[in-house]
Amino acid sequence: GQSLEQPSEVTAVEGAIVQINCTYQTSGFYGLSWYQQHDGGAPTFLSYNALDGLEETGRFSSFLSRSDSYGYLLLQELQMKDSASYFCAVSGRGFQKLVFGTGTRLLVSP
Amino acid sequence: GAGVSQTPSNKVTEKGKYVELRCDPISGHTALYWYRQSLGQGPEFLIYFQGTGAADDSGLPNDRFFAVRPEGSVSTLKIQRTERGDSAMYLCASSQGRTSGRGNEQFFGPGTRLTVL
pLDDT per residue as tens digits for the range A34-60: 999 999 999 999 999 999 999 998 999
Residue B97: pLDDT band with limits 50, 70, 90: low
Distance from CA of residue A63 to its chain's centroid? 9
Q: Are strands B75-79 and B19-24 parallel, antiparallel or unpaired?
A: antiparallel
Pairwise CA distance, residues A11 & A19, whole Å: 11
Q: What is the dihedral of CA B36, B39, B42, B46, to 10 degrees?
A: -10
Pairwise CA distance, residues B94 & B105, whole Å: 9
Nearest to A85 by CA among A33, A41, A32, A55: A41
Residues of chain A scoring pLDDT < 70? 1
A87 near A37, Cβ under 8 Å?
yes
Pairwise CA distance, residues B91 & B36, whole Å: 6
The answer to whether residue B25 neighbours chain A at the CB level (below 8 Å) is no
Pairwise CA distance, residues B94 & B48, whole Å: 9
pLDDT, tens digit (0-9, with 9 covering 90-100), for B33-86: 999 999 999 999 999 999 999 999 999 999 999 999 999 999 999 999 999 999
Provide the mean pLDDT of chain B.
93
The region, left, alpha or beta by phi > 0 then psi within -120 to 50, assigned to residue B30 is alpha
Nearest to A102 by CA among A2, A5, A1: A5
Flag if A45 and B97 touch (Cβ within 8 Å).
no
- The CA–CA distances, whole Å, from A67 to A29, A51, B32 equal 11, 11, 31
B47 near B60, Cβ under 8 Å?
yes
DSSP letter string over A53-102?
EEEEETTEEEEEETTTTEEEEEE-S--GGG-EEEEEEEE-STTPPEEE--
Chain B hits for A31, Cβ within 8 Å: 103-104
| From B43, B50, B110, residue closest to A100, measured CB to CB | B43
Give me the pLDDT at residue B48, please: 94
Residue B101: pLDDT band with limits 50, 70, 90: low
Give me the pLDDT at residue A105, please: 98
Chain B hits for A50, Cβ within 8 Å: 103
B49 near B69, Cβ under 8 Å?
yes
Interface test with A, best of B58, B106, B107 (most A CBs within 10 A): B106
